[in-house]
Structure 1
């Protein structure tokens, strides 16, 4: 696909497009980081034997891209008229299943054996809506294929899961994210330093959409995208800051660890949940013994649960650091 075509499809003017749409893969073969999944999907298309599909995995790893690419490869230029995309988080009631999906499934069309209905964030559907969807999948199985996308397959009722071929999308490997970032930077004529690429990969944490958005945002701050620009734009702490904070707590220096935490929350503007995530990612990089790592993981889990239940983020994070400092003092 030419850059001009991508520009037109994104609906923007050159240099002002949203890059996640401009560089969205148009074919399954172009989807990065999921070679086994892509190979299986391509075999379905080659045999003209597409089952109902369930894509499960975190955000930004290619679920929607694969669904649209399937439609493009099956229908070619007619894909828009034979592909219905719905977001279940916006339209999660039983009426959506009964009305929009059924009307699309019933409508007449020519030249193809079936149409494709893509239901994004299907785990947001109520149980009643999922039960209605199960019946609809049975009723229109002759001329309709469903592709469901969700973050957690456990929230999809078993009767629907058993009717689908399940594909689990894992977070993208760092190498796949790095390759894509470098290709986009080269296409846009942006200079990205090696440490800038490393920072983008770290901040993305397997989310390609976040990596591309961060690259586009950082590219507006200057001629060169380096790690300073990336960490500022993404409000992400440097890995060494997190490690130093944990080390200080483990060494019993609670005041110093608390000062670092306060800077992350107030100056960097990080959310408590993000700090927890970064501490969790750093557990095995701090050089702890197995016993210390297990103790830290226990504290992280407790703080994460309390924050998710609505507790004060700063209080819980300080309590986490304090417990590490107390454990250190007790060990001495």
Structure 2
């Protein structure tokens, strides 16, 4: 019996299959991308720190920049780039051996180009290793450039920050994520989706494009239909429509109805932090159509934020969430 073989591309997850290869293909953070385009055109790459939330394109942007700097030459991309990510051991020995050896290596590059060392998740590098990098960056600055990618730039020591240009990435806007999702669906020839399904994927991703694409693929392969109900089954979060109804019942003074909905969510196994996070997202979208002005909205968000703080500190009980609903009744 022979097994049918498929092309390798079909086996790639969508997040890799549709990963941008050039800076023009990167969506969002327009000002930051334009700054990198100028760097790729001039060729004078400084040491860089790219900071921002996960899944918004930091590592992809670095690889796009390197591809353009090396004129899409696969040999140069292989020889002229050293990439270390969070799965690698990045203690002081790695700095003294691997990074130093790569910095000393001779590579024939185009004029005004440098070897690139990419340190992904740089905020998890040990403090001693960061201290050791200071001297290495200075000694080999004529031939090698360092690019740090991190979630929080303040976890990188100040001596390294002072040697680098810091570029900050923001979360992607909903409309930017929607453009990418529709482009993927069109390329895959998928028509079995609803607008509320795409809206639900964007809502649960919270600006994280990687998570949005992964959820899109999971929902499609799991149910062959991308709608709101199937999305929340996959991501395992409380449905925001139900949470919205619960909050409105409390704002109308119907605390018993609100507590009944909360009890149903609790019995389904949703954790306190999941419920409180969805409450926070839902309340940020409340507008004047719900007869709630800005002052009331701020009071609602403050009450939810106080409850969220207690839940994060460890008091994740049903009683804590009930107390939050009672405080919403007072609003």
Correspondence list, 1:131-146, <5 A: 131-146=131-146
Describe the SS at the equivalent of 1:283.
helix
Q: Which runs of 4+ in 1 moved over 4 A?
A: none
Describe the SS at the equivalent of 1:219.
helix
2:327 match: 323
Instruction: Give the CA deviation at 1:161.
Output: 1.8
Of residues 71, 80, 88, the one that matches 2:78 is 80
In 1, the alpha carbon distance for the partners of 2:248 and 2:120 equals 42
1:231 match: 232
Of residues 26, 39, 43, the one that matches 2:34 is 39
Given that 2:79 and 2:107 are in contact with CA atoms closer than 8 Å, whether structure 1 keeps it comes out as no
2:49 match: 54
Give the gaps of 5 or more residues in structure 1: 1-6
Superposed CA offset, 1:255-314 (max 9, x none)? 4323333433442x5443333332222224334344433333333333323333333254
In 1, the alpha carbon distance for the partners of 2:216 and 2:144 equals 39
In 2, the alpha carbon distance for the partners of 1:104 and 1:263 equals 58
Correspondence list, 1:104-253, <5 A: 104-112=102-110, 113-191=113-191, 192-253=193-254
Give the gaps of 5 or more residues in structure 2: 1-5
2:22 match: 27
Describe the SS at the equivalent of 1:224.
coil
RMSD value over aligned CA atoms?
2.3
Alignment CA distance shift 1:314-1:141 (3 Å): farther
In 1, the alpha carbon distance for the partners of 2:158 and 2:217 equals 40
1:302 match: 306
TM-score by length of 1: 0.86
Instruction: Give the CA deviation at 1:107.
Output: 2.1
Alignment CA distance shift 1:201-1:143 (3 Å): same
Superposed CA offset, 1:49-105 (max 9, x none)? 011111111111110100111121122212122212212465343333333222222
Instruction: Give the CA deviation at 1:315.
Output: 4.5
In 2, the alpha carbon distance for the partners of 1:310 and 1:99 equals 43
2:3 match: none
Aligned length: 316
Describe the SS at the equivalent of 1:148.
strand
Alignment CA distance shift 1:291-1:194 (3 Å): closer
Alignment CA distance shift 1:86-1:317 (3 Å): farther
Alignment CA distance shift 1:285-1:45 (3 Å): closer
1:102 match: 100
In 2, the alpha carbon distance for the partners of 1:64 and 1:176 equals 18
Describe the SS at the equivalent of 2:241.
helix
